Amino acid sequence: MTVCKKTLTGRETARFGFTATDLGYVSPTNHGYAIAIFGDTFNDTPDLVWVPQNWRSPVGLRQSNTDIENGICWDNAIGGDIARQMIPYRHAGTPRAGRLPDGFTNIPNDLIHLPDGRFIMTTAAVSSWDPALTDGSWSTFHSRMWTSTDTHAEKWERTWDIEGNHANMDFPNSGEWRHFQNNTMLKLPDEPWIYIHGTDEGRRPDGGIHLMRVHWESMWNRSTYEFWGCDSAGEWAWRRGGHTTPVLMPTLPRNGIGELSTQYIDSRVVMSYCDGQLGAVTRTATRPEGEWTVPRIQVSPAEAPSPYAPCIHPFSTLGRAQMLLSQWTKHPKKENRTTFYGVKQWEVDLSCDAYLETASLSASDLAAVLGEHADPDVDRGYIDQVVSATRSGSSPH
C-alpha cells in the first residue's frame, strides 16, 4: 500500500541554502552513492521569483543511506555547504518570453554516470511558461547535454557536438529531436547503449513517449544516435536518422504525459510519469523497447493534489520501492499563493504482471482494469470519474 513517508525538501534542505524546490531525479553513481538533481530552487518560495533569493536550477544533493525505506537522507550538496547552480548559464527573459542562448531557466531532465567516470546531465531550456502557447505547460528552445569529468560531479561544462564543429550538443526542438525535450537516460548491465526515453515539450495532449539509443562512448557524436520506430510495413527497428514511433501513449484521450524517469530494478526496466489526470503511474518491462505492463496508479491527484515528476529511487526493490513525487499547490483565494512547493517520499509497490492494450476498451472496462491494478489506497471513485469524463469529452472537475 502506498504510504507518504517523508517530506524531502523544506526543513530537510534548509541547511543547503534552500527550502523551495522540485523534481529530485535520483541517479546511481559508480561510487555507490546517489545524486538527486532538482529544478527551480529558491531560498523560500517560487512566488518571489523576481526578489533576489538565490534562484538556481539545477542543484544537486548526494545521498548514500541504503535503508531508504526508513527515509532518504541527504549527505551534502554539489557546490559545498550551500548548493550552487550546477551549470554555467544565466536566466534570461521573462516566464512568457525566455531569451536565447539559455532560456528563462534550465530544468534538469536526468543525470547518468558513465563507465569511464564521466557524468552526463541533460536539461531543457524553457522558452515560455505561457499556457496559451504551450497547452497548459511550457515550451522549450532545446534540450542540452552537459558533462562533468570531476570525480564527484562538482564542475560542469557544456557537452560539445564533435561532428558539429564543437557546437553545443543539443537536442533541438525540431525533427526527431523534438520528441526528447524531456528525457530520461538508462544503461542496462552488460550493454554499451544509453537508452533515452523522451517526450515533446511540456505535457502535450495525446503526445507519446519516444525512444532512442546511443553507444555510451559516442554520446557527443550526433550521427550515431539510433531511433526506435515502426515503418510503413509495420516493422519495428533501430534506425539512424529516424523516424521514431511512440512506445507509449497517454491512457486517457486529450491527456498528456508529464516528466518521466526510468530505472533498472530487479532485472526490470521501471518507468514512472504522471499519466494525465490519473496521476503518478509506474510501468515495467524486460527491455526499454517494451512490452510494458498496464499503468499502475500509485498516487492520484485525489491523494496528492497537483502531482508531477515521479521518480523511483534506484536503491529500491520492486515490492518495496521509494518514489520521489513533486507537488506545487496554491491557495485558491489568497492571490494564488503557493501553499506547498517541494518533494515528498512515497513507498510504493511496483509489482504488476498485466499486459493489455487499453485504447480499445470501453470506459467501464478501462476503469475496471485501472482500478484492479492501481494501488489499494487509490480512490476507485476518482478513477471512474476521470475515465468517464475524458471518454465523454467533458471535464471531471
% of residues, the chain, pLDDT over 70:
95
Question: CA of 227: how far to CAs of 41, 53, 200, 241, in Å?
Answer: 34, 42, 15, 7
Lowest mean pLDDT among 43-57, 188-202, 307-321: 43-57
Cell digits for 287? 527491455
Q: Which residue has the higher pLDDT, 135 or 293?
A: 293
Virtual torsion, Cα 113, 117, 118, 124, nearest 10 deg: 10
Nearest CA among 250, 357, 321, 292 for reference residue 26: 321
Model pTM? 0.95
Answer yes or no: is pLDDT of 143 > 70: yes
Report which secondary-structure segment, H or E, holds 97: strand 97-98
pLDDT at position 107, please? 97
Contact 383, 252 (CB under 8 A): no
Query: Residue 126's closest CA among 110, 144, 105, 146?
Result: 105
- Taking only the tens place, the pLDDT of each residue in 365-382 is 999 999 999 999 999 999
Between CA 353 and CA 340 the distance in angstroms is 35
- The residues pairing with 371 across neighbouring beta strands, listed in sequence order, are none
Domains of the chain (ranges, CATH numbers): 3-392 (2.115.10.20)
Per the structure block, which three cell numbers stand in for 357? 492494450
Tell me how crowded residue 9 is: count the other CB atoms within 10 A of its CB. 24
Question: Model confidence over 147-174: pLDDT tens digits?
Answer: 999 999 999 999 999 998 778 999 999 9
